[in-house]
Amino acid sequence: MDITAHTIQSLLDGYQKKEFKPSEVAAAYLAQIKKTNGKLNAFLQTREEETLEAAKKLDAKMSEADSLPLFGIPVGVKDNFLVKGWQCTAGSKVLEGYRSPYTATSVEKLENAGAFVIGKLNCDEFAMGSSNENSAYGPVRNPWDLERVPGGSSGGSSAAVAASLCPASLGTDTGGSIRQPASLCGIVGIKPSYGRVSRYGVVAYASSLDQVGPFGKTVWDASRVLEAMAGNDPMDSTCSKSSVPSYTKTMESFSLSGVKIGVARSWLEGVDPEVKKSFEESLKLMEKQGAKLKDIELPHAKYSLSTYYLIAPSECSSNLARYDGVHYGYRSKETRNMDELYSKSRGEGIGKEVKLRIMLGTYALSSGYYDAYYMKANQVRRLIQQDFEKAFADCQCIASPTSPTTAFKLGEKTDDPLTMYLSDIFTLPVNLAGVGGISVPSGLDSKGLPIGLQLMGKAFDEPTLLSIAYQYEKLRGAFPLPKGLN
Amino acid sequence: MLNKEEVLKIARLARLNLSENEVSVYQKHLTRVLDYITELSKVETPKEAFVRHIPGDATGLREDSVKVFSQTEALLDNAPLKEGQSFLLPTVLEQE
């Protein structure tokens, strides 16, 4: 078996049986990246020497493999995480050449669990986008069809796993940036509950919504990565102190029998018919195993887009004020005074969509508009949270499609910001409510493009959410990988 | 639609230097998004804006301990322009 065809689960099994060593696994993935990345533009940086060195250190620890939950697992990291010594651009020209002075807690925890970094992955600039076309380093292409987008903003993270350039990757999800690309690339992506994973060392976009999460080929793989990096971190004051149970241990014995799954029917208008069909089939599969479908209402979910596009830009206008050309990052060459240094550095360094969101936020927070925009959005956000609280009082999870369509063509939605924003209508409310969500592949459309099922769970009830997803995945059966890349 | 002056005012507040072309693009795009967003004014909302987004058990008191940060050089290495241990900048106060 080709090493890069493995899942995390089968790699761990292979290490146990001493079929291969971490350095051989590292070399196999690095070779695959060399061969395929030119077509995908998923990786922005690899450091062969450093990666092989880290893997060789693990070679010497083969006897301890049992005690390390991610022993010898190569992980791709979205380029908005700091990894000491590696470049971190966040997909922006502003941060071109920026060297990370320390490592993000999430990455450090994975390294402590035996994993090693295989490379940094392309993304929409500052994680703002739904197609990965906003990267200053060029778009990522979808391994299922190179003319189509992989989704965004973690498009590199999803394309790389789908194309078997790494068995797992990290992304960030502020409004759908893990689940939507996972759906469009036919893999699994988890947005954990807000506060489950530390964000120390991750480039901030909208702090009340940002959350770190994993991508994998299977629910088990992604859950294994999540359980290794979740948990308290004194360096992130929004990170919960509650203990992290082992998700992978309990999912196998979990039964769907009697599990109540909420479905908000009114939410499904405007969904692509093939996506809807796959969604209904997924529900039927779970129903057959004893799950009970329950009609629910999320009356304010329809306002998620407006709410999100006030709150996220407001927070981003504040968070991104730090890119001023003073301490690090891009500085304009010709500036006569400080005011010019700020405006020219930002004007030249920051890309189109990010500027739009900074200005939206600046406007929403400006004197005279604050109450009508930012305050109002927070009030509606509370109502959306309450909708979810009510729904979860009577069901263990809520199901929806992850994205209303399958992967669209490059350039198809770049002219109108709203058209692009609409591809996140099912994922946005999850971030606003602070609950957990996962996207699991549910089928292929007539063009052969993957469709995703989104399952949403109560805040901090990842054990139930991931178990339901795992059981669904088992019912669905094996899912294909994209063909024709090699 | 937002006029040119309004876009330039927002850009100035955000410290973003825009080209002529950008100003007209953002006139269109800002207006498009802001028009859509006005739907929120129709939503009946309670007065308090309290949004609980941080888990209750995240915050708390801890020992106020000093940790030495030893990455000064690494931080300075990322400076666009530096002199010794300082960031180099243009004059703040201009001469008359």
pLDDT of A153-183, one tens digit each? Answer: 999 999 999 999 999 999 999 999 999 999 9
**How much is the pLDDT for B14?**
98
Tokens 């039927």 correspond to A284
Whether A304 is a known active-site residue: answer: no
| Closest A-chain CA to B71 | A101
Report the range of poorest mean pLDDT among A185-194, A265-274, A438-447, B42-51.
B42-51
Beta strands in B32-94 (DSSP E): 82-83, 86-87
What residues of chain B, 34 to 73, have a C-beta less than 8 Å from chain A? 34, 36-37, 39-41, 43, 45-55, 57-60, 62, 71
CB contact under 8 A, B89 and A241: no
Nearest neighbour of A195 by CB, restricted to B29, B54, B94: B54
Report the range of poorest mean pLDDT among A25-29, A130-134, A349-353, B85-89.
B85-89
Tell whether omega for the bond before A153 is within 30 degrees of 0, i.e. cis. yes
CA A194, CA A16: separation in Å to the nearest integer?
A: 35
User: Given a cut of 80, is residue A350 above it in pLDDT?
Assistant: yes
**How much is the pLDDT for B50?**
64
Tokens of A343: 């405006």
DSSP A328: S
Nearest neighbour of A376 by CB, restricted to B11, B17, B45: B45
Q: What digits encode the pLDDT tens for the residues A212-242?
A: 999 999 999 999 999 999 999 999 999 999 9
Tally A–B CB contacts below 8 A: 176
Checking DSSP bridges between strand A436-444 and strand A450-457, what pairing results, if any? Answer: antiparallel
Mean of per-residue pLDDT scores for chain A: 97
Q: Tell me the nearest-neighbour CA distance from B3 into chain A, angstroms.
A: 14
Q: Find the mean pLDDT for residues A138-143.
A: 98
CB A140 within 8 A of CB A41: yes
**How much is the pLDDT for A60?**
97
Q: Where do the H-state alpha helices sit in A176-236?
A: 179-185, 219-229
- Of the pLDDT bands very low, low, confident and very high (cuts 50, 70, 90), residue B72 is confident
CA A235, CA A257: separation in Å to the nearest integer?
A: 41
Q: How many beta carbons lie within 10 A of that of residue B96, not counting itself? A: 3
Residue of B4, B18, B50, B54 to mutate when probing chain A, most A C-beta within 10 A: B54
Q: Which CATH class is domain A3-260+394-476?
A: alpha beta
CA A28, CA A47: separation in Å to the nearest integer?
A: 14
For chain B, domains (ranges, CATH) are: 4-40 (1.10.20)
Whether A177 is a known active-site residue: answer: yes
Tokens of A186: 């036919």
Q: In a 3-state reduction of DSSP, which class is residue A207?
A: coil
CA A184, CA A157: separation in Å to the nearest integer?
A: 12
Q: What strands, in cross-sheet order, belong to the sheet with A436-444?
A: A43-45, A116-121, A74-78, A168-173, A211-216, A188-191, A436-444, A450-457, A397-401, A260-263, A292-295
CB A99 within 8 A of CB A85: yes
Beta strands in A192-296 (DSSP E): 211-216, 260-263, 292-295
- Residues of B with CB below 8 A from A314's CB? none
Task: Tell which wins on pLDDT, B91 or A97.
Answer: A97
- Of the pLDDT bands very low, low, confident and very high (cuts 50, 70, 90), residue B49 is low
Maximal CA-CA distance, chain B: 58
Q: Tell me the nearest-neighbour CA distance from A271 into chain B, angstroms.
A: 20
Q: What digits encode the pLDDT tens for the residues A408-423?
A: 999 999 999 999 999 9
User: Given a cut of 90, is residue B54 above it in pLDDT?
Assistant: no
Q: How many beta carbons lie within 10 A of that of residue B71, not counting itself? A: 11
CB A357 within 8 A of CB A312: yes
Q: Active-site residue among A78, A109, A217, A458?
A: A78
Tokens 């779970």 correspond to A286
Nearest residue to A161 via CA among A259, A73, A98? A73
Tokens 């291969």 correspond to A20
Is residue A178 packed enough to be buried (19+ CB in 10 Å), middle (13-18) or exposed (0-12)?
buried
| Closest A-chain CA to B62 | A234
User: At A252, phi and psi to the nearest 5?
Assistant: -65, -40
CB contact under 8 A, B43 and A241: no
Q: What digits encode the pLDDT tens for the residues A278-334?
A: 999 999 999 999 999 999 999 999 999 999 999 999 999 999 999 999 999 999 998
Tokens of A231: 């948990």
Q: Active-site residue among A23, A130, A177, A278?
A: A177
Q: Per 3-state DSSP, what percentage of chain B is helix, strand, and coil (rounded to 5)? A: 40, 5, 55
Q: Find the mean pLDDT for residues A1-15.
A: 96
Tell me the one-letter amino acid at A140. V
Percent of chain A with pLDDT over 70: 100
User: At A76, phi and psi to the nearest 5?
Assistant: -85, 140
CA B26, CA B16: separation in Å to the nearest integer?
A: 12
What pTM value is reported for the model? 0.97
Tell me the one-letter amino acid at A423. S
Domain residue ranges of chain A, discontinuous segments joined by +: 3-260+394-476
Nearest residue to A58 via CA among A116, A107, A117, A120? A116
**How much is the pLDDT for B52?**
72
CB A311 within 8 A of CB A326: no
Q: How many beta carbons lie within 10 A of that of residue A94, not counting itself? A: 27
**How much is the pLDDT for A30?**
98
- Of the pLDDT bands very low, low, confident and very high (cuts 50, 70, 90), residue A486 is low
CB contact under 8 A, B71 and A358: no
